[in-house]
Chains A and B, each alone.
Chain A
Amino acid sequence: MSISSTFHKWGSPRWFYQFSGRLLPWLAGLSLLLLLGGCIWGLAFVPADYKQGNSFRIIYIHVPASAVAMGAYVTMAVAGAIHLIWRMKLAAMVMKAIAPIGASLTFLALLTGAVWGKPTWGTWWVWDARITSVLILFFLYLGIIALHQAFENRDAAAKACAVLAIVGAVNIPIIYWSVEWWYSLHQPASISFTGESTIHPTMLRPLMATLSGMYLFFAWVLLLFTRAEILDRERNTRWVQDIVCGEAR
């Protein structure tokens, strides 16, 4: 199949609605299983850390929330670019759906970070490069939500949000490398893709479970929100009216 015909198929809200409907139960089940299982595993069965004791266990929420908050932003910026270049309506809907999810995940990352910081560093908050750049990520998400609501016209809103999302994408590498580029209180990453991770395998396994669970959870909620947006925008079409009337009957 050529790229353009794949694009056409994926760009069709109706096809996307039907296809995503089949994915929903799998994503829901698998994400909740991995998140709950990983949390129970990490909280009850993994040994305490040699330095931080039990407080390190918040890693099982903090790291997945932070990683997916950043991944969600990249997805949003890519959807924005696709909308700008190919004028794909579905991409605009995905973009709009991601902003509140990303904002919630970023808030969770900041909150769990503060709760973790108090017993280990000795402070809830410090204006270091990592924490400040994540706070900027939170404001970017809020900015995109607000910008969307400031426009009466949907297409104008999508275009403006896409540009903001793309400009804000610069923040993502800054967050990721902030702990390497500047002196900060936050420590560098423990999970390494190229070398050996500095977190012991017994502690890393449940983290991998909650991390993948959080990615699937994001995908699940993203599909739910996008589907709601599709129904709203296509409410005057025959196929949506058929679905709604069918469910009402």
Chain B
Amino acid sequence: MAMHPQRKQRLIIVIFILVIAGLAAGLLGYALKENINLFYPPAEIVSGKAPVGKAIRAGGMVQEGSVQRASDSLKTRFVVTDFSAVVTVEYEGILPDLFAEGEGVVASGKLGEDGVFYATEVLAKHDETYMPPEVSDALEKAAAKRAEQQEKGEL
């Protein structure tokens, strides 16, 4: 369909506005890339990309078996991993309900000279999976059975 030349020109202007706005947003996002990220993963902290002694956030997965709780206070120590590096986090305070080993976490605080992250706030980061508890139990049982069978097969 042939378009009226005036309308065609306006269409080009609309596309031009979109492209320019997209370009501006893209450049802005590129320039602020590091700042838009909410947290540093352990790999960046260990490699020295995260500033020491400044208020930052660290995020990753709480390593299985790493949570140590003090018996006489609310002090907790745990290891956060991104499966390529680990950072030890120390925190005193109430942890969110969803905080657990093997779950995501975002801690805000300061990185010490000793490489330990001293947190003042710990948030739980959950994933996008939702299911009833029975389904989760069934999946766990199936996984355990599979592991058992694998072990038998290896023997």
Contacts and interface: CB of A to CB of B under 8 A. Distances in A.
Contacts of A127: 38
A46 B131 CA distance: 10
A183 interface: yes
Interface residues of B, number: 43
Interface in A154-172: 163, 166-171
Given A121-B96, A184-B38, A50 B132 contact: yes
Nearest to B140: A50
Interface stretch (A65-73, A81-89, A225-233, A236-244): A81-89
A122 interface: yes
Interface of A: 2-4, 46-52, 56, 59, 81, 84-86, 119-123, 126-129, 163, 166-171, 174, 181-185, 187-190, 198-200, 202-203
A44 B62 CA distance: 33
Nearest to A166: B17
- Classify the secondary structure of B's interface with A: mixed
A152 B8 CA distance: 29
Contacts of B38: 126-129, 182-185
B98 A120 contact: yes
B109 to A, nearest CB: 14
30 contacts: A2-B1, A3-B1, A4-B1, A48-B133, A49-B131, A52-B98, A119-B97, A120-B96, A121-B124, A121-B126, A122-B95, A122-B97, A123-B123, A126-B123, A128-B38, A166-B14, A167-B17, A167-B21, A168-B21, A169-B21, A170-B21, A170-B22, A171-B25, A181-B29, A182-B33, A198-B128, A199-B130, A199-B131, A200-B132, A203-B130
